[in-house]
Copies of this chain bind each other. A is one copy, B any other.
């Protein structure tokens, strides 16, 4: 069955405490290749049926209204996975 993937990330201008914690862990482990880590969410919606343009439009609306908090997060991707 097809899956639609929705990616949601914290807004770039906001602090991401989870990401900062990982950045700190990397530093303590001696990993220095990364200047920043940010952590967001990945939603996998299993579609019951076929992926149509209307369904994708519905997913975009749901992503903006239900799956993300537009005050602190951005929807960075809506893609059909398989």
Chain A residues with CB under 8 Å of chain B are 1, 7-9, 19, 22, 25-26, 29, 31-49, 55, 58, 62, 66-67
Contact = CB atoms under 8 A, between A and B. Distances in A.
Given A29-B66, A67-B22, A43 B38 contact: yes
B46 A7 contact: no
A48 B66 contact: no
Given A22-B67, A33-B58, A49-B33, A41 B39 contact: yes
A46 to B, nearest CB: 4
Contacts of A55: 33
A62 to B, nearest CB: 7
Contacts of A8: 42
